[in-house]
Amino acid sequence: MAKQAAVIGSGVMGHGIAQEYALAGYTVSLYDLTEELLRKAKNSVESSLSLLVREQVITEQAKRDALERIVLTTDLDAAAAEADIITEAIPEVIELKWELFAKLEQAAKPEAVIASNTSTFSIARLIEQAKTPHRFIITHFFNPAQLVPLVEIVRHEKTADEVVAAVMDIIAGLGKSPVLLKKDVPGFIANRLQAALMREAFSLLKDGVADAREIDTVMKDGIGFRWAFVGPIETADFGGLDTWKRVIDNMAPVLDDSQKAPALIEELVAKGELGTKTGSGIYSYAETSVEAILKERDEQFIRLAKMKRR
């Protein structure tokens, strides 16, 4: 099994992916353009690991060991040279990804797997300029990557079967839940489901059916409460397919069918109100600590994961 990994890009997703590999015993080269970005990433990993210690998921020694396994570097060739699996986690700009992949194909070992964390591009688009397409694959982690179990795996017809099998084993070895898509579709599975639900949620908000907090409560304390353990297709089976036939027949004609982002999101983006990253979005964060909100979210994610593992 591979024990040398590299993560290219140390941002929101990259540092979490590096943490997962390090906790699983891999030596991880974490690459970014500047030392400042890498220091910020290392601090984020240390904070995340400390939270896992406080929640008694890992020991203090496991935290120290994981931190020691993460090697920070601004040298791309050095990051890729010994890696058995390389994960790209850079911005969703196809030209940047093509440029990076060309460099990785030169710097990496011939047998190294090159994986992308993209949530936007198809595997066919990613490998358009690849000279060794057989070793490319998508491993789509979810934010926060170090806490959410799901990883969507997307292959191309040119991806070698042994690469797919190895990556499925590697991701499972990280303690994740890998799902291999049988088709490469835009948005994969999770983002398609999320987008459908988000479209309807914002439609209800626009129509004044309920306010944002009430809609979020319905999701968190109703649908989301069940979906943590029972998926939508299981829900149909459990509720009776005849019942769900009537529900969908009655509801489908009146559901929102917008073909673009909700007007409210468009308006807020135009004003630079982007949510927690700017202190204001649908909700205002002016009188609260975003860091505290995200810490509480992560604590709850950790506790849920512990419960699901039992």
d(CA 240, CA 243): 5
Active-site entry in 15, 88, 140, 156: 140
pLDDT in tens, 29-74: 999 999 999 999 999 999 999 999 999 999 999 999 999 999 999 9
Q: Please give the domain boundaries of the chain with CATH numbers for all domains.
A: 4-180 (3.40.50.720), 190-309 (1.10.1040.10)
Residues with Cβ within 8 Å of 204's Cβ and at least 6 positions away in sequence, in order, are 210, 215
Asked whether the CA dihedral 135, 136, 137, 139 is positive or negative, the reply is: positive
Share above pLDDT 90 across residues of the chain, in percent, rounded to a whole number? 96
Strand partners, 239: none
Closest of 272, 299, 231, 243 to residue 48, by C-alpha: 299
For residues 291 and 29, the model is more confident at: 29
d(CA 37, CA 57): 27
What does the pLDDT read at residue 288?
Answer: 87
Residue 196 has pLDDT above 70, yes or no: yes
Strand partners, 115: 87, 137
Active-site entry in 122, 191, 203, 280: 191
The confidence band for 236, taking pLDDT boundaries of 50, 70 and 90, is very high
Active-site entry in 46, 82, 119, 134: 119
- Catalytic site residue 191? yes
What does the pLDDT read at residue 2?
Answer: 57
pLDDT in tens, 239-276: 999 999 999 999 999 999 999 999 999 999 999 999 99
Residue 122 has pLDDT above 70, yes or no: yes
What does the pLDDT read at residue 94?
Answer: 97
Query: Which of 88-92, 98-102, 209-213, 288-292 has the weakest average pLDDT?
Result: 288-292
